Amino acid sequence: MPQKNINSTSSTASSTADQRVITYAQAGVEGVREEMLRNPDIFYIGQGIGPRGGNFQQSRGLWQEFGQARVRDTPIAERAQAGFGVGAALAGSHPIVDIVFMDFTLEAMGEIVQQASTIHYISNGRFKVPLMVRAAGGGIRSTGPHHSHTFWSFFAHIPGLKVVVPSTPYDVKGLIKTALRDENPIMFLEHKGLYGTKGHVPEEEYLIPFGEANVIRSGEDVTVVTLGKMVQRSLDAAEELQRNGISAEVIDLRTLVPLDKEAILKSITKTGRLVVVDEAYASCGISAEVAAIVAFEAIDQLDAPVVRICTLPTPHSFSPSTDSYLVPSVVRIVAEVSDLMKKKI
C-alpha cells in the first residue's frame, strides 16, 4: 500500500520499534537481504559490492552474510556484468547487477536494451529475464559530467523494461522487494544524494506495488509532479509557497514504468495547474511525457500552461556555483511556480 508522509530526512533516530529510523542505504540493504533469504536464486554482482559494501554502502554486510557464491565483486566491465546477468536470468537465476554509477549503464546498453528488454517478446513468452540492474545517478558535490547523470528517461523509452526511482528509505525498501519478485528486467535507479537521508521504515515486511504514485502533500492551487531527490526540494518549495498563499500538491512518481497517470490526472482536475520538477534534462524526458499525457487527456482541466523545471541543457560542471545554478533549486521552483500562478490559458 502507498505510505503517506512516513519519511523524513531528519538525522534524529528513534528508539521505538514503530518509529524506527534508518538511512536510505540501510533500507535498500534490508530489502535485498530479506529477498535473498526468501529466494535462493537471487545473487548479487557488481563493482565493489563485496567485502567493502559498495561505494555508497548499498550492499553493506551482504557479502559477510551470504558469501562470495551469492555476493561477488566484478571487474570494471559493465557490458560483461549485464551480459552475465542476462544469461544467468535465462538460466533460472534472479541476478542483481549493480553498475554503481548510472552514467556507465551506457556501456551496457546493448545487453539491456537489445537483449534484456526484448527476449520475452521475441521468444513468444517462452523465456523471461528476471534481472534487476541497480545504479545510482544524480549530482552530489559537483561530480562533473561523467558522474552526475539522471537519464532514467532513456530506459523508460524502451518497451520491456520497468523503471523504478525511489525517493525515500521507506520506498527504496518496499520497491526493491517488489522488484526482486518481478520476472521482468527492471532498472532500479537511485540518487547518490539520498543514500545518507533517513526516514521511518517498519521492521515488518511490506511491499510497494509498481505504478502507484504517492501524493505526499495535498494542495489546491497547483500540482507538482516530481521524482528522486527533487521530491524533497519540491516539498521544501511547497512549504515556502504555502507561506505566500499558494497551496501546492506534491506527487512522487516512484515508478516511471509503469507510470501512474491516473494520480496525475486526478490532481490536475483539482488544481488546474501542472509543474513537473525533474533533475534530468527537459528535452525528450519524463517531464515531457507527463506534460504530453496531461495535454492529451486533461487539456480542458488546465487553467495555465504546463511548466517544466529541469536541469539546464548543458553538461554538469565541477564548479559548485555553476552546478548549483544548473540543477533545479528550491528558490527556482518557488519562483517559477509563483510566476505560473499569474498566468492563464
Peptide bond connecting 258 to the previous residue in cis, omega within 30 degrees of 0: yes
Q: Which region, left, alpha or beta, applies to residue 260 given φ > 0 means left and ψ of -120 to 50 means alpha?
A: beta
Could you confirm whether 94 is annotated as catalytic? no
Sign of the torsion angle spanned by Cα atoms 106, 278, 47, 34: negative
Element holding 207 (H helix, E strand): none
State the Cα–Cα distance between residues 94 and 285, nearest whole angstrom. Answer: 30
- Beta strand spans in 192-252 (E): 198-200, 214-217, 222-226, 248-252
CB 100 within 8 A of CB 135: yes
* Amino acid code (one letter) for 182: D
Element (H, E) at 228: none
- For the record, the C-alpha cell of 291 comes out as 506534460
Q: Read off the C-alpha cell for 244.
A: 505566500
DSSP state letter for 155: H
Q: What amino acid is encoded at 145 in this protein?
A: P
φ/ψ of 72, rounded to 5, equals -135, 135
Contact 194, 167 (CB under 8 A): yes
Give CA 75 to chain center in angstroms.
26
Catalytic residue among 94, 120, 146, 147: 147
274-281 β-sheet, strand order:
214-217, 248-252, 222-226, 274-281, 307-311
Could you tell me how far CA 81 lies from the centroid of its own chain? 21
What is the C-alpha to C-alpha distance for residues 107 and 92, in angstroms, rounded to an integer? 25
Instruction: Write phi, then psi, for 222 (nearest 5 degrees).
Output: -155, 140
Residue 1 near residue 144, CB atoms below 8 Å:
no
Residues designated as active site? 147
